[in-house]
Amino acid sequence: MKTPAGTECPHFYGDYHRGRDTEECRLLQSSIPPQPYTTDLCEKCPVPGILRANACTDMRLNGHVTRSIFDLFQRRVYVTARCEKTSQRVDKPEIGCGECHPLPPIFEVKK
Ligand code: SF4
């Protein structure tokens, strides 16, 4: 579903049928602990970009709402990722953990 920021995000839920005005982020809702959602968070959220870059079905995202140290009034979504297949933390969710889709040797940097 399209977020209020105009990006496509599978975690966004909006119900505007017959005058309803319900907007939810299912990712923040299911995070541990659940995070409060406001529509302005979608504007700079990295999740749509991560999911466009990496469609791995084994990767689980967890979102936290934080404030930047440079702008304490600006709330942002900070995302951590975990691979359910390898049970390890994924440092770069856009790329993945490398278990299922290793880079070809031509892209490896020799030391
Ligand atoms: S905050 Fe991020 S994850 Fe949640 S609905 Fe908006 S874009 Fe999607």
Q: Quick one: which atom of ligand 1 is closest to the CA of 39?
A: 6
Give yes or no for residue 25 CB within 6 A of ligand 1.
Answer: yes
Output the CA–CA distances (angstroms, integers) from residue 37 to 18, 24, 25, 95, in the order listed.
Answer: 23, 7, 6, 26
| pLDDT score of 72 more than 80 | no
Give the pLDDT band (50/70/90) at residue 49: very high
Quick one: average pLDDT of 84-111?
85
Residue 86 resides in a domain? yes
Quote the percentage of the chain above a pLDDT of 90: 76
Instruction: Let me know if residue 6 belongs to a domain.
Output: no
Number of domains within the chain? 1
Tokens of 11: 């975690």
Within a domain: residue 105? no
Out of 30-39, 52-61, 97-106, pick the least confident.
97-106
- Whether 111 has a pLDDT exceeding 80, the answer reads no
| Any domain includes 3 | no
Which domain, by its residues, includes 45? Answer: 12-99
The pLDDT value recorded for residue 53 is 94
